[in-house]
Structure 1
Amino acid sequence: MTAITSRPESLYRTVWRWHFYAGLFCVPFILWLSVTGGIYLFKPQIQALIDRPYTGLAYSGPLAPPSVQAQAAVDAVPGSVLHRYVLSERTTDATQIIVGVGSRETRAYLNPQSLEVLRTVGEEDQFLRQIFRLHGELMAGRWGSALVELAASWAIIMILTGLFLWWPRGGSGLAGTLYPRLRAGKRVLWRDLHAVTGVWVSFFAIFLILSGLPWAKNWGDYLGTVRSIAATTVAEQDWSAGSEADAQATARLDAGARAMIEHSEHGGMTMPHMADSLGALDILVPRTKALHLAGPVEISPPSTIEGIWTVKSNAPNRPLRTTIEMDGRTGTIFSREDFNQRPFIDRVVGYGIALHEGAYFGLANQLAGLATVSGLFLLAVSSVIMWWKRRPGGSLGAPPPQGVIRHSWLLVSVVIGLGFLVPLFGISLALTLIVERCLLRRLNKAPHFLGLRA
């Protein structure tokens, strides 16, 4: 009997160990991402509170033309040029205009009548932008992004192995799996809270993790390669590729805008002056308002010799987004690309991001996201409490086997598939296996301490 059951017990111990160590690595990141993600879910409400002092302004008389407002924003930041003019949702709101110097952008809030600059703030210094960077890359650039990507990948392993371990077998019932046993003592209660939360939140948590991967630097580059091969048309990526890539894109836009200004000031013959001057806004702003695009809507000046202005809907619900190219002299539309015209990969990512950010179906989407990150937070906290209560002496505390299970090729296949889907995870998994097999098992005390040996 021992010979028959030793192999399943060994498998059970292995799955337990991978679950334990995946959690050990992921818990700090899960707590961090749950808190920052929970805050960012309510971006519209938080931003509305931040902008409240600059709404409901009282005017007496006509407003300044858009071109004059844009010039006032440029004058407020020495050495800057116009990057984006944001259409106000209401005529009583301050006009928001983004100007830039190189890769550094500043958002100016202006009184559209008096041209008083009510507030200036760096785009990357805004509270919600800081939360976005903290959430996606720990404010540490590509290295922070790589850590988040690794933690997200191992969190999937933690969830899958947890489901595999705790799913009821042999008629053991649903107590402790689908609902907690509230009168079985504190140890059982914490165990059940951990298991039950994991079962209910697992699908939504895995979706959140996978839909957030396009922002990761390494996986985002991997997706970009696949996208460039699969797409039949060239389309600009509609999601952030990280702080470094965003800074480079801003610097290119700034350089292009300055080149167009210089070209105009020197009497360039390839396009009339109005096409690349701020005066074009006086034509484009009313023309754009008449299109009734989903807000916020931004108008960007030409950055290439063609002199085409770009009008873009940056709606949080990405399937509502539209990008239009216009002639600055007449407001004539050269091209229009709605969301359903974008490449298939872009549409899949767009739906995923809209759901990830809680923007696809309003408040219900936000509350569903909040419930998911709250569940992940409870998973992390309960795992730490269980470990602390049961930690043994002389070892780190990988849980001992608690039963016999059959081998699961499905679990193995999913893990291997994830390794190919997320190459950074695959590399880390391979390195972990090599170190365990070739080094840790050969040491005297490490196997017992790490749970590699009973």
Structure 2
Amino acid sequence: MTPRESPSTRRRDAYRVLWRWHFYAGVFCLPFVLWLACTGLVYLFKPQVEPWLERAYAHVADAPAQPVSAQVRAALAAVPGTVLNAYEVPASPHAAARILLGRGGDVTRVYLNPSSLRVLHVVRENDRFMRVIFYLHGELMLGTAGSMLVELAASWTILLLLTGLYLWWPRGRRIGGVLYPRLGEKGRVFWRDLHAVTGVWVSLFALFLLVSGLPWAKSWGGLLRDARQSWAHATAVQDWTIGSADERKRIAEANTPPDEHAMHGNMDGMHGMAHHAMPANVDYTVLDRVLPAVMAERLAPPVLIAPPSAKRPAWTARSDADNRPLRADLTLDPVHGTVTRRVDFAQRPLLDRLIGYGVAVHEGALFPPLNQILSAFTAVGLITMVTSATVLWWRRRPAGTLGAPATQHASRYAPAFVVMLCLLGLLLPLLGASMLLVLAIERLWLRRLPRARHFLGLTHHVSEAHEH
């Protein structure tokens, strides 16, 4: 510190550095935040939208239903080359039967009249409206690369929200423009208040949604899965997927009969190949025997009954409810049609339960409709923040520059801010790596280019127009 530097100067300089990181995060994140908020807002109302989209299949039969085994055979005949993935227990005796058929990593849903066995509709599971929204939201329909990009944007958004809370936190007794907008003001003050007040009210909700969505992300979710296996020694099957590639792998395992899986595992031995040349035929009459026992367990819908596979060696039934704490898994006796084992949510490992609660809140399913209302409020708030931030940036950016807060070469980082960056970098590895990359590019390359230095505000001079 030079003799001329006062404490207020140091605080102002540190404040400006913090604001600069906030600006950088915003430039990268805002398009993604807008995208995630809009797609998430649509997916949030899946419990209302999906039944409306499938209203034509809610009441299709008045006569008694054919045996479930006959329904499955009719579905298989309609989609040759597939195997039974799961049978969905009907919500009512009049509803269309929904049968999931698999081929490799794909699942096809067949709707049929349970009385006449007439096929009503056939659709790939990933082509259904809410599945498309799910993949648009989680990985931009770009697979693993999209998942990594969304994870990176979510990580930077966490930094954006934390720095924003600090920048806008009241330094005095004034609450106007902090807890409520000064609606009588116009121009820049109005947009600044709209941005700041909305951020104060929705940031904590948004932070929770971002963190609870990370288990789905390719990088962070993969690290979590490894930690789960080594730390929790979990024997229960993980019931959330890490991107579409992981989901396709699981579906492929679920579509592979046990004998076929054994054949692939013994390809190096000719005796193994001969013994497992063809997968064993599935006895679909097992469904007729186990269905009453499954229905008696009163699992939260939708309930799926699945045959043995490379993933699960026995006949099973499971609740696939959006509210994950309501889920349960059953192991079935195919001979006697009874339930031999039941595992409820409360019996799952602690880490699974924590993630299950987080995922349920993330999808607005834990305590509807309040959960949906709070999440919708957060999504609309994020859209408002993106809009107001864009207007603020557009109005105040100097001509010929990006509009980033100007800084000095010798800008000092506040120790608390450095600690926060280090913690975030450790907890969010993609964020940490990208922050180091940004610092390296700025200090080792961009500062050496006069035009880039001017455009990005990397100058010694700091104009008052850039003060927050």
Q: Displacement, 1:226? A: 1.0
Distance 1:331 1:410 in 2: 62
Q: Answer yes or no: is 1:436 the counterpart of 2:435.
A: no
Match of 2:289 in 1: 283
Distance 1:233 1:184 in 2: 57
Match of 1:235 in 2: 236
Q: Displacement, 1:260? A: 8.8
Which stretch shifts more, 154-163 or 434-443? 434-443
Matched to 1:316, the amino acid is D
Match of 2:247 in 1: 246
Cα RMSD, aligned residues only: 2.3
Q: Answer yes or no: is 1:213 the counterpart of 2:219.
A: no
**Any conservation in 2 of the 1:94–1:112 contact (CA below 8 Å)?**
yes
Match of 2:108 in 1: 106
Q: In structure 1, list runs of 5 or more residues that go unmatched.
A: 263-267
Distance 1:255 1:39 in 2: 34
Aligned pairs (5 A) from 1:414-433: 414-433=420-439
**Any conservation in 2 of the 1:323–1:337 contact (CA below 8 Å)?**
yes
**Cα–Cα, structure 1 residues 208 and 388, in superposed 2: closer, same or farther, change >3 Å?**
same
Identity %: 49
Matched to 2:396, the amino acid is R
Distance 1:374 1:89 in 2: 33
Matched to 1:370, the amino acid is A
**Cα–Cα, structure 1 residues 260 and 15, in superposed 2: closer, same or farther, change >3 Å?**
closer
Q: Displacement, 1:63? A: 1.2
Q: In structure 2, list runs of 5 or more residues that go unmatched.
A: 264-274, 463-468
**Any conservation in 2 of the 1:182–1:189 contact (CA below 8 Å)?**
yes
SS of the residue aligned with 1:25?
helix
Q: Displacement, 1:433? A: 1.3
Q: Answer yes or no: is 1:326 the counterpart of 2:332.
A: yes
Q: Displacement, 1:413? A: 2.4
Match of 1:446 in 2: 452
**Any conservation in 2 of the 1:81–1:257 contact (CA below 8 Å)?**
no
Distance 1:115 1:138 in 2: 38
Match for residue 381 of structure 1 among 387, 390, 400: 387
Aligned pairs (5 A) from 1:40-59: 40-59=43-62
Aligned pairs (5 A) from 1:306-317: 308-317=314-323
Match for residue 123 of structure 2 among 121, 124, 128: 121
Q: Displacement, 1:258? A: 7.3
Matched to 1:443, the amino acid is L
Which stretch shifts more, 205-214 or 437-446? 437-446
Distance 1:305 1:413 in 2: 44
**Any conservation in 2 of the 1:84–1:301 contact (CA below 8 Å)?**
yes
Distance 2:122 2:355 in 1: 33
Q: Displacement, 1:299? A: 0.5
**What is the number of residues matched between the two proteins?**
440
Distance 1:40 1:379 in 2: 20
**Any conservation in 1 of the 2:254–2:312 contact (CA below 8 Å)?**
no
**Cα–Cα, structure 1 residues 302 and 260, in superposed 2: closer, same or farther, change >3 Å?**
farther
Match of 2:85 in 1: 83
Match of 1:183 in 2: 184
Aligned pairs (5 A) from 1:53-72: 53-60=56-63, 62-72=64-74
Distance 1:336 1:413 in 2: 46
SS of the residue aligned with 2:120?
strand
Matched to 1:292, the amino acid is R
Report the TM-score when normalising by structure 1. Answer: 0.92
Match of 1:367 in 2: 373
Matched to 1:386, the amino acid is L
Aligned pairs (5 A) from 1:288-307: 288-304=294-310
Match for residue 166 of structure 1 among 156, 165, 168: 168
Distance 2:173 2:25 in 1: 26
**Any conservation in 2 of the 1:81–1:258 contact (CA below 8 Å)?**
no
Which stretch shifts more, 300-309 or 20-29? 300-309
Q: Answer yes or no: is 1:74 the counterpart of 2:76.
A: yes
Match of 1:194 in 2: 195
Match of 2:99 in 1: 97
Q: Displacement, 1:306? A: 8.7
Q: Structure 1 segments of 4 or more deviating over 6 A?
A: none
Match for residue 27 of structure 2 among 16, 24, 27: 24
Distance 2:101 2:199 in 1: 46
Matched to 1:79, the amino acid is G
Q: Displacement, 1:236? A: 1.3
